[in-house]
Structure 1
């Protein structure tokens, strides 16, 4: 029944397919059973039982999350199906506040007696923490009105769990066949789906039923040049999304033209794998980059990861305060930088917005795991730092009157804590296409797709690679480059932001497996942007020299 955080399924560099440890996602379940629903009335009765017990045992506040998590993975390689797995994890997590301290307990006996015992255990944990003075100052919980009985569902057109396995296998093997026909030496592909059925109730008076869907199609193509003793890979330019299976049904009107054809809200897997096969062959034959200063034109399929690591993580309040340090470090940002009101994070073109209601995004929800309805808020405005991400017991630290709705737990058995919402770079206000942007670049590199990255323990110094690199000379793309990575400090990089394309080019990228915390939890989050121009960035050559 244990649901662990996501890991790499295969380890072929940064292009590896990121999927969960399927053996640990929960008990196996057939596809028909996955479509069965749990009566919301039953969940409310269980919730009321737990909340009443918690209050009777001395809790000043209590919430319960009844979670049913469904996962499905269809994994192929060349002409073979490697695995088809359906799994279910079902249980209850209860959090309480007693004597000024938090207590949490979870279990998978989802009966009235079962949840009553879990609630008792959670209160006992809170009182033990209070007696041991664990946590320092008493918890200050931001006020939150109860919403009564409400519900929210990802607005899908086609439930991925209702799509026959054969249809998915046929698509993946057809894609693999196209790659092999195009000259690929190896190819693997997958479709991964998640359905979170989450019920939240609290002593504030909220009873929230949510049905959340996410989908991630992916592949990796490898091309070998035996004569040169070299190989190159290209992974899918798909984005994991908060959508149903309709994501895999593109239309011509969705196309975004550029060096690589993409779609704003849909994904053509066949077209992408054909292009990927050609790209992998081109990469093998491409020239190695000359190190130096370049203007960088960064596609949204690449820029999302830079936003994620250099902006979204550093503005998590627990990192700022040093509470989150063991996993991927703290933050170069501090409370005094925010309170000054004039900390110049980036140029005037840098406008960063947090939004957990963004349609199609991985982080899209109706309510967070504290029963808070999220709102859109600015993190950076015209280059100036304006806010951090916070939840109910952190809001007072920023002088906020309420939570920003940034609370999440990866499963019923994990305690909820602060996780990033969708954090995105706003598109430019002036009409500007990718072609127009490239025309203005004399010496530059156009980077598509995310690759390897490295960032220090304060999220300040970093290095990013990519998947496809195109050399720009005198306003024109003249060919493909290889072995490219760029290095910068955080402020240096974002202050070099010179232009952002308009909303016509705006697209989402994202991470299905954003890790944080000890013990680690996984979060799914999107980051949107239009193509952006950064001036005079240091580029290095990553090719290893032997001898």
Structure 2
């Protein structure tokens, strides 16, 4: 692909600082060029060149991923647009098995000759690695699907919306926050489009067009007389959707009485959230500091999603269980011996947690993973008992699975695909239960919404989580805002304290847009669904108190 017509808009200090923490792949590109498609017939011809070269040199299996990755990031602060990034990366990753061993190579020379050369490199690497391979790779079977195409079911492609219109929306949110008591506000809009073409020697030619979006902000309020300040983050969730997530605010899920909070799922009203964020950030300055002790916690889905991610999603990745992640991000307490007992109590009987790559609107929603495996839903924890893990083709035999779970992913054409977290969600309760009804049964508790600081050990067992906003519950009612709240527990103790879950009418998704794993590090996007959930007798600490 030729790089051309790069449009660089205003670039300022804080926006540049923000970009240093956000992955940007590839080269600058104009929004107009980003909309130009790549012909399917061209991609098939290129893939066949690589597959034929691999087979002719001894590959017993080969797959090709032709990837075009588009990113558009918009950053604003108060009345200014700080930075706009438009980036594109285009290239090919080729994976082979030769002499029972994996080999991988990648190239941005997207020609038939370039792909054939990369295939030869992958073969050479596999044969060199075979000298040290103790057991041959065992792939769970996958039937080729022929030529298929799939696209995230979006209503409006965010890349087709003029940049000025999107920047104006962010600036309007800033203005709303400033009008309602905010001293500062930063807003961002992240948009991702992955155009991925997968082909394998098993007869699959799969074209997928994947879209994700994440509007977010951070509001701060300052008391000039005391110098105290507090912040409140956006309560949006990154979604596998188009611009309709922002442009069509619709029905919302009411939060508990006395909080003013709204639950956003299908659509997000950034203006409404910015107004409430400003008011809550200001109120947090004078909010009562929590008294440490045992509390019943009522956790909003936008908060609980992060706890699910860290204490269930990661520890049930099979490669982590097997120790492959030990050097970078730890292992897992949920070892194979616990699973083999068939009665390991991960949580209470109310806890049913499933993996699902087919949830519409989720960040992980695709039809096929990066091994050409059709995605699906499967149980991880059933009635509180650990029943399964997340496994890909070369891991399935380890846990006696006849097929891959379809959760293999690479974040870029130059990255090798490996096991990544699927959407991991807590099933809603089966009995009708609203948030207010749940709170009525709480004598001494705290309602927590939004994400905050967190810490978890290298085996995903002992942890501490904060949040964005906290409300005290006394004798079945919300009685006021709290501050300085964090709760501590271990994974098994925490999930066994789960006492009640609201029904499906309260079910929503939280998301992680930049979830890191592996060496070299890769990122992925994943959602976690749940309804509001109560956990009894959890230890709460005061984060402001000095020892």
**Same fold (TM > 0.5):** yes
Contact kept in structure 2, 1:324 and 1:330, CA below 8 Å: yes
- Return closer, same or farther for 1:23/1:336 CA change in 2, 3 Å cut-off: closer
User: C-alpha separation between the residues in 1 aligned to 2:379 and 2:26?
Assistant: 38
Secondary structure class of the residue paired with 2:453: strand
Q: How does 1:378-397 map to 2 (within 5 A)?
A: 378-397=379-398
CA distance in 1, matches of 2:354, 2:128: 40
Answering whether residue 191 of structure 2 is matched by residue 190 of structure 1, we say no
2:536 is aligned with 1:540: no
8 Å Cα contact 1:256-1:264 kept in structure 2? no
Q: Which runs of 5+ in 2 are unaligned?
A: 2-11
- For residues 470 and 350 of structure 2, what CA distance do their matches in structure 1 show? 24
Residue aligning to 2:214: 216
Equivalences for residues 128-207 of structure 1 within 5 A:
128-131=128-131, 133-134=132-133, 136-207=134-205
2: distance between equivalents of 1:255 and 1:450?
Answer: 18
- Show the 5 A alignment for 1:248-263: 248-258=246-256, 259=259, 260-263=261-264
Which runs of structure 1 show a deviation greater than 6 angstroms over 4 or more consecutive aligned residues? 17-20
What is residue 355 of structure 1 aligned with on the other side? 356
**What's the offset of the Cα at 1:178?**
1.0
**CA 1:279–1:385: 2 relative to 1, 3 Å:** same
Mark the CA change 1:317 to 1:19 in structure 2 (over 3 Å): closer, same or farther: farther
Contact 1:332–1:459 (8 Å) recurs in 2: yes
- Match of residue 225 from structure 1: 223
Could you say which residue in structure 2 is the equivalent of 1:4? none
Alignment deviations for residues 357-387 of structure 1 (CA, whole Å, 9 cap, x no partner): 1000000001000000011100000000000
How far, CA to CA, are the matches of 1:531 and 1:168 in structure 2?
32
Report matched runs for 1:324-473 at 5 Å.
324-473=325-474
CA RMSD of aligned residues (A): 1.8
- Contact kept, 8 Å, 2:391 with 2:419, in 1: the verdict is yes
Counterpart residue number, 1:74: 74
Match of 1:7 in 2: none
* Mapped partners of 1:62, 1:481: distance in 2: 57
Cα distance, 1:422–1:493 mapped onto 2, change above 3 Å: same
Q: Show the 5 A alignment for 1:478-497.
A: 478-497=479-498
Describe the superposition over 1:118-177 as per-residue Cα deviations: whole angstroms up to 9, x where unpaired. 00000000000002x14x321111111000001110000000000001110110111111
Contact 2:305 2:509 survives alignment (8 Å): yes
Distance 1:11 1:520, change over 3 A: farther
Are the counterparts in 1 of residues 196 and 209 from structure 2 also a CA contact under 8 Å? yes
Aligned to 1:86: 86
The SS at the match of 1:253 is coil
CA-CA distance at 1:326 after TM superposition:
2.0
C-alpha contact 2:24 2:87 (8 A) present in aligned 1 = no
Question: Residues 362, 11 of structure 1: CA spacing in aligned structure 2 closer, same or farther, 3 A cutoff?
Answer: farther
SS of the residue corresponding to residue 177 of structure 2 reads helix
Distance 2:201 2:482 in 1: 59
- 1:182 is displaced (CA, Å) by 1.4
Aligned counterpart, 1:105: 105
Distance change >3 Å, CA 319–CA 27, structure 1 → 2: same
Paired residue secondary structure (1:481):
strand
Shift of 1:339: 1.2
Q: 1:382 to 1:517 in 2, by over 3 A?
A: same
Alignment partners' CA distance in 2, 1:368 and 1:19:
29
Q: How far off its partner does 1:24 sit? A: 4.2
Show structure 1 runs of 5+ residues with no match: 2-9
Please tell me whether the aligned partners of residues 443 and 474 of structure 1 are also in contact (alpha carbons under 8 angstroms). yes
230 and 521 in structure 1: CA distance in 2 versus 1, 3 angstrom threshold: same
Give 3-state SS (helix, strand or coil) of 1:274's partner: helix
TM-score, normalising length from structure 2?
0.95
In the TM superposition, residue 312 of structure 1 has moved relative to its aligned partner by 0.5
The answer to whether the 8 A contact 1:326-1:517 is kept is no
**For the structure 1 residues 23 and 416, does the alpha-carbon distance in structure 2 shift closer, same or farther, using more than 3 Å as the test?**
closer
Structure 1 Cα separation of the partners of residues 249 and 314 of structure 2: 35
Q: 1: CA distance between counterparts of 2:50 and 2:32? A: 30
1:1-20 equivalences under 5 Å are none
- The separation in 2 between residues aligned to 1:20 and 1:354, in whole angstroms, is 32
Q: Deviations over 1:390-435 (max 9, x none)?
A: 0000000010111000100000000000001000000000000000
Question: Whole-Å Cα distance in 2 between the matches of residues 20 and 230 of structure 1?
Answer: 28
